Every structure is written in structure tokens, then in C-alpha cells.
A and B are shown apart, each in its own frame.
Chain A
Amino acid sequence: MCNMSVEFAGLSFKNPVITASGTFGSGIEFSEFVDLNRLGGVVTKGVAVTPWEGNPTPRIAETYGGMLNAIGLQNPGMDVFLSRDLPFLENYDTVKIVNVCGKSKEEYIEAVKRLAESSADMLEINISCPNVKEGGIAFGQNPLMVEDITASIKKVAKQPVVMKLSPNVTDITETARAAEAGGADGISLINTLTGMKIDINRKTFALANKTGGLSGPCIKPVAVRMVWQAANAVKIPVIGMGGIASFEDALEFIMAGATLVSVGTANFRNPHVTEEIVEGIEDYLERNNISDIRELIGIVNR
């Protein structure tokens, strides 16, 4: 039996496969299709202090090998999240990672404070959503703001803090280093790439929000490159994501330097995909006589 477990920010994960925020809810719906106990962790859909309505529909559009979304971080707010979603995940043996969003620094801090006494094991801070007017990406594209908000959150957070970075920047290493300088315990990337689709029959934007975040297999090469660049720029561990749909994809990210991998859009094509990726990595290790998954993290640099 090969070792599949990894350490990340002082937490132990039974395997490196976790979900990507916004694609998996809080696991309630997917638990009919996936044994959540098989996953390294579940990353919940972004939650804010108060409920958010999100954007008008259509909120998604399919593109070649991917999709655009502009959900707009609809969420039920912290009260319901703490009384319904998080207790649901407590029934499973998996690491609970809560994705946090806000429209201002104060809102992020308030949300992180509300989570302090909760059963959340780790926080992922969404400073990279391209689909909301306030907060989101506005914080994630400026290294100074990334460092500032990271430091402010770290002051109040009781759990390890992972900053989720935007690929919509000129140099990913700048925002990665800024998160590290602010005291982040880890970084996760990439969030979606801002894109657009025009519906030529309706002669207008396919999404009500005009622009949306591109995800899916089509973004994977960009994501692998950025994860590799970021992992080489910082000493804190990295969660890699962007178009992972198979165990082979997951291994690319791990070899590029990611300790954990998030699976997102692929859940829509195959609701069982996360478990299948865990099994696929186990088989790969077995077949290749690799006794420990940790040997593969960042192996391309060795």
C-alpha cells in the first residue's frame, strides 16, 4: 500500500484530492454520488457574512472544452452555513475547508471571526472571483492589497489561511509572494480566467453578467504553468487547480509543485470524478513502484 497522505499547513490529509470551491456546494448534494470519506477534503462554496443574491441568469455558458460562469457568489450567509452546511460535513472523515468571500476588508474579517469557533479546519479566502463588482478580484490583482488583506485576516483567524489567487494578473509570482509576505499558510490557484461568449443567434452576451470565469480542461495548461511558477516563488504550500478532470491531470499539478489538488468543473461532467481521481492516483503509484505520493510533489524541479 502506497502512502497517499500529505501534510498541508499543519493539517493531515488522507490524500491530496479536494474539491474546488463553488462546484460542490457544501457536499450535501454530491454526497448522493460520492463517498465524501474518500476525499482528502471538501472546499465549500464561498460564504459571506450575510446572504448574497448572486447574478441574473443565464449564469453559465458552455465553451469548447470548458465553461464560463458568473454565478456571482450566491450564498445563504454565515448563520445558515454554520447551522446547516458545516454540521453536515462534520459527519464525514474529511478535512473541512471553508471558502470565504466579502465585499470589503471588514466583511472578510467579520466572516473569518464568525468561523473562529466553528469546526472549519482551514479557510480559503476568495480574493479572485471575477464575477462580483466589489471585493473578489479587486483585492486579488494588486500585490499590496493581497498582502494587506492577508495580514488583516491572519490577525483574527484561528484556522490556517489559504489565499486563493487570480490568474488574471501579469505576474502570478508577485501575488503569490504578497500572500506569503502577509503571513498566509498556503496559496491556492488558479481561480477562473475572465472570458466572454457572444450568442450569435440572440446577438448579445451569452451571460447576463456579460463576462464570466472560464474553467474546465481548456485552462489546464495555463493553470499548470502558473502553479509551477507560484510554487517556485514561495515556501508556503500550494493547492493546484484549473481543469483537472482525471488522475493524470491531478498528477501534473502535483509534479509541478502542488501539495493538494482541487477538482471543480469536472464534477459537472462526472459527479463521481473526485473518487475516481483518488483511485487513479493510487493505481499510478502502485504501478510505478512509488511508495509515497510526497515524492512526486514538485518533482519536475529535481
Chain B
Amino acid sequence: MTGRRKVSAQIRENGPIADGIYSMWLKSDEISATAKAGQFISIYTKDSSRLLPRPISICETDPKEGTVRLVYRVSGEGTRQFSLYGENDTAEILGPLGNGYCLSELNKAAKGRALTVVGGGIGIPPMLGLVKAYRENYPEAEINAVLGYRNSDTFLDEDFKKYSKVFYASDDGSIGIRGNVIDAIRHFGIESGVICACGPKPMLKGIKKYGEETDTVSYVSLEEKMACGIGACLACVCKTKETDSHSMVNNRRVCKDGPVFKSDEIEL
């Protein structure tokens, strides 16, 4: 029961990989060994005037090195502070948190057809860990990655290519098709047994709808403002179709019951 700790983790690497997008490798044997794709960690600023942890999804792990990678967008003062951390600096972290993806469940849902991961913007990083883990578990599986960027200033796409086919969509058409990830799925004729998506809410709505229309099982990773990150404060809820057995209302906790949800169980 008692025994989980917030820890001080050493930073192994931290730097920009695209405009405003940073990649950080942290040393944490425990998180590296136990994290599932789709889970996140809470990372705390050193400056306590910014008191809440920033929930950042795990991009990938390197269990041999005992490290974990976060890829994050600098979107405010907290993440700006993270971007300044250097090698051998430390960061206070708590995790892994949340439910993550169950690979065997995905494989079962795919029924021998492809797994398609869909990432939009800063929703792309957690999808890398998923394709990597799925490839390790199912070497023969067909895996597609549909990545949506603002423009040709892409990130992580070369990493995806190690494990999956990659299809691009961009807002300005400078890479892949001009349009959104749903447009890309249709344009490239991508057929899937199961779809996993992370990105802005309109994109997730689109994926949920696409899944319903094409009778494809879909999962979405949700983002919401969080305080505790462990399921106690009820700040980060999403709406559910049915009354939730924990909350007794139509709310589920994104941090604890998610952030990964089967999209037919929630309202977006």
C-alpha cells in the first residue's frame, strides 16, 4: 500500500527537436521498468510559485539504460523552466500514472488487421511508445502511424519509421496531405482493425466519429487540467455515456481511470 514516492530524477538529455518542442530523457529505473505506453508522469517545477505538477505523457522508455523520455511543448512558464534544465540537473517526478494501453486488448480488437495510431501535434509523443511496444510484442503486425503537424517542421517521425509505416498531414500542406489526420486516413486509404489517437479534442472527436462510421474500434488519450494527478481531487474529469461505478455520476477521472479511454465509453 504505502510506499510509492515522488522522486528526484537525473536528467540525461534535454533539448529542442522542433520549434517549441523539447525532448527530455530522465533516469528512473522504476518508471522505465514498469511504465506502459499511454501512461504519464507528473513533473514539478523547482519554483513553488508554480505549484501544480505538469502531467506529461511518456514518449518512450529505454529499460536497458533505465531511462524514460518525455517530449513536450513549451506552452507556459512551467514547461519553459523544464526546457532550461541541463544534463545532470534533476527534476522531481511522480509516476508512472494513469492506465495506459493494454497491448493484448488492442491486438484482440484488431482481429488480425492493422493497428493505426494517430497523433496530432503534441499528441504525437505517446503514440511512439505505443508503436514501439506493439512492434516488440507483435513483430508481424501491420502498424500505421498517421501524424499531423502544423508544417514540415516535424518531430519523432523518423523514430516512428523504425516500427511502422508513416503517413503525414499538415495544416499548410508542406508535408504529406494538406488537411487533418482524418483527411489523411481517407486520402491514403488506410484500413485499420483498431485506432489509437492522441491530440486536440476536435481531432479526437473526428476519430471517434470515424470509428463509429467505419465500425472500427478506437481509443483516445485525453488531456485535461489536473491538480493531484492521482485521482483524488476530481479536477480532470471527462463525461461518460453510462453512470461510472466509482463516481456514481457520468464522470470519469482522466488521471486515474484514463488518460486512455475506449472512445465509445465517453462523450467528447
Contacts and interface: CB of A to CB of B under 8 A. Distances in A.
Interface of A: 22-25, 28-35, 45, 51-54, 57-62, 64-67, 69, 71, 74, 76-77, 80, 216-217, 245, 265-272
B250 A53 contact: yes
Interface stretch (B46-54, B128-136, B153-161): B46-54
Nearest to B230: A29
B225 to A, nearest CB: 5
The interface residues of chain B, by DSSP majority, are classed as loop
Contacts of A65: 48-49, 51
Contact of B251 (A22, A32, A53, A267): A53
Interface stretch (B16-24, B104-112, B208-216, B241-249): B241-249
Interface of B: 1-6, 44, 48-53, 94, 224-238, 246-251, 256
B248 A29 contact: no
B232 to A, nearest CB: 4
A271 B94 contact: yes
A57 B233 contact: no
Contacts of A268: 51-53, 227-229, 233
Given A57-B225, A265-B51, A51 B2 contact: no
B5 A76 contact: no
A79 to B, nearest CB: 8
A272 B6 contact: yes
B228 to A, nearest CB: 5
Contacts of B48: 65, 217, 245, 269
Contacts of A51: 247-249
The interface residues of chain A, by DSSP majority, are classed as loop
Contact of B249 (A31, A61, A62, A74): A74
13 contacts: A29-B228, A32-B1, A45-B234, A59-B237, A60-B52, A64-B49, A65-B48, A65-B49, A71-B235, A245-B48, A268-B233, A269-B51, A271-B6
A34 to B, nearest CB: 7
Given A58-B224, A59-B237, A67-B227, 5 more contacts: A59-B234, A66-B51, A67-B52, A217-B51, A268-B233
B181 to A, nearest CB: 23
Contact of A32 (B2, B52, B249): B2
User: Which residue, A34, A61, A217, A269, has most C-beta atoms of chain B within 10 A?
Assistant: A269
Given A58-B224, A76-B247, A269-B52, A33 B236 contact: no
A54 B251 contact: yes
Nearest to B256: A29
A59 B235 contact: yes
Contacts of A24: 232
A270 B227 contact: no
B235 A80 contact: no
Contacts of B231: 25, 29
Given A32-B1, A216-B51, A58 B6 contact: no
B41 to A, nearest CB: 13
A58 B1 CA distance: 31
Contacts of B6: 33, 270-272
B248 A76 contact: yes
Contacts of A217: 48, 51
Nearest to A65: B49
B67 to A, nearest CB: 23
Contacts of B2: 31-35
Contacts of A74: 234, 237, 247, 249, 251
Given A33-B2, A58-B225, A59-B235, A76 B246 contact: yes
Nearest to A52: B249
